[in-house]
Amino acid sequence: PQEHLTQNSTQSTSQNTSQGPAHAVQAQPFDYLIVGAGFAGSVLAERLAASGQRVLVVDRRPHIGGNAYDCYDDAGVLIHPYGPHIFHTNSADVFDYLSQFTEWRPYQHRVKASVDGQLVPMPINLDTVNELYGLNLTSFELEDFFASVAEPVEQVRTSEDVVVSRVGRDLYQKFFRGYTRKQWGLDPSELDASVTARVPTRTNRDDRYFADVYQAMPLHGYTRMFQNMLSSPNIKVMLNTDYREVVDLIPWRHMIYTGPVDAFFDHCYGPLPYRSLEFRHETHGADFLLPVGTVNYPNDYAYTRVSEFKHITGQRHHQTSVVYEFPRAEGDPYYPVPRPENAELYKRYEALAQARTDVTFVGRLATYRYYNMDQVVAQALNTFKKLMSQSQG
Ligand code: FAD
Ligand code: UDP
């Protein structure tokens, strides 16, 4: 079944192993070397192992789970070291797939924005406008209100266009302009419409952050779910290891790469911009600090938002842990930056990626897409199907 797999430089490696001293890798090459143990890498590892392939997963971090990794802090509170991760999807396939590896705790995320000295619902809804302006509008009247303040734009192109064409300039400035400038180091007019379009505007009183059909947290955490995904004897996991340290030492037939695409090609066309964050974690001797899972600060402070894990995980504990997010230009890559010039640059890397028949690129960093967890799972499941059909074809 592996005949389809591309041969590569491992031929020389297998020669090395037969020459060298008693290497551990006398056996068959791994069918797959997977770089990254996040959602992209772990879903593919699980699927491939279940179909009988031998897989080596390598991650340079000391843990599995990628940015979705969770763990207990010193106080014993379950936290997300890389910022709050809330699972939501409209895909029954994705939800059913992950349900093989975890039970769920239903959870609907709620966010408030700190604006003009008040904490009001975000996304903007009927209560947001009424509380902010001291009004008593109905949903119908709010629709008229939005229509009266909206600034029509011929073509919605940027993240500024999306918001001002719907709710007008005042709400745009109160909720979006400052937050976006902080988060991205760019004005909303310099970012694709898709960025602020992630946040809807509502005329009803629905104050959930997401409207997806499935909204739930893994009952025992993400890391436990990843452990279950990676538990097959066909999967070996190597942590604290940059793939470059082992790529020529361990024989493999095909690589799946889920790290930043520009780094794979030694930044040969220049660095692709990724936005980073610095996280400040704190534990407090209180039951709860915040009224909801996350409070956004569009206009004050250097951080964008603060999130409280116990709201999100449902854990009961006499202390509580929160995380503040400080956007950074430098540091670990967390977000692709959706704007036309970056899409152009990515296209050049994508062409190099497509020419590599021995490597498949999957995930948020490797395909430079601002994907949520469920979208990465869907992308990985599709990639698995493609790899299988190639092997049969
Ligand atoms: P990653 O999780 O980044 O995994 C890639 C892995 O590759 C990393 O572990 C990295 O160490 C490893 N790697 C990279 N280069 C190398 C190398 N050279 N050698 C070895 N290993 C390497 N999504 C949601 O659906 N809901 C949310 O609420 C949500 N909140 C988020 C909050 C924040 C602050 C951030 C940054 C993201 C959030 N996301 C959320 C998005 C979510 O994190 C991603 O969609 C998902 O984790 C991407 O998975 P991935 O496997 O593509 O990448
Ligand atoms: N955004 C904003 N104000 C907010 C929340 C979001 O301006 O209160 C904008 C901002 O540009 C942000 C984008 O909408 O980066 C997407 O928000 P989301 O909460 O989806 O960001 P993520 O959770 O991916 O960081």
Domains in the chain: ranges and CATH: 10-64+230-271+337-392 (3.40.50.720), 73-110+208-219+274-335 (no CATH), 125-196 (no CATH)
pLDDT of residue 331: 96
Entry pTM: 0.94
68 lines ligand 1 (CB under 6 A): yes
pLDDT tens string 75-88? 999 999 999 999 99
Q: What is the Å distance from ligand 1's center to 38 Cα?
A: 6
Tokens of 172: 């745009």
Q: Ligand 2 pocket test: which of 85, 86, 158, 176 has the largest number of ligand atoms within 8 Å of its C-beta?
A: 176
Mean pLDDT of the chain: 94
pLDDT value for 3: 35
- Helix %, strand %, coil % of the chain (to 5): 35, 20, 45
Residue 334 Cβ contacting ligand 1 at under 6 Å = yes
ipTM above 0.90, yes or no: yes
List the residue whose alpha carbon is closest to atom 46 of ligand 1: 373
Per residue in 226-250, pLDDT (tens digit) is 999 999 999 999 999 999 999 999 9
Helix (H) or strand (E) segment spanning residue 280 = strand 274-284
Q: What is the mean pLDDT of residues 299-306?
A: 98
User: Cα of 79 to ligand 1 centre, how many Å?
Assistant: 16
Query: How far is it, in rounded angstroms, from Cα 333 to Cα 5?
Result: 30
- Using alpha carbons, select from 331, 337, 335, 352 the residue that is nearest to residue 265: 352
Find the residues whose C-beta lies inside 6 A of ligand 2: 113, 122, 175-176, 179-180, 183, 195-196, 198-199, 296, 298
User: 305 CA distance to ligand 2 centroid (A)?
Assistant: 10
pLDDT band at 27 (very low <50, low <70, confident <90, very high): low
**How far is the C-alpha of 110 from the C-alpha of 298, rounded, in Å?**
16
58 alpha carbon, closest ligand: 1
d(CA 324, CA 310): 15
Contact 92, 170 (CB under 8 A): no
In short, whether 218's Cβ falls inside 6 Å of ligand 1 is no
* CA–CA dist 339, 184 (Å, integer): 11
Confidence band (pLDDT; 50, 70, 90) for 6?
A: very low
**pLDDT for 369 beyond 60:** yes
Across residues 367-377, what is the average pLDDT?
98
Q: Which helix (H) or strand (E) holds 34?
A: strand 30-35
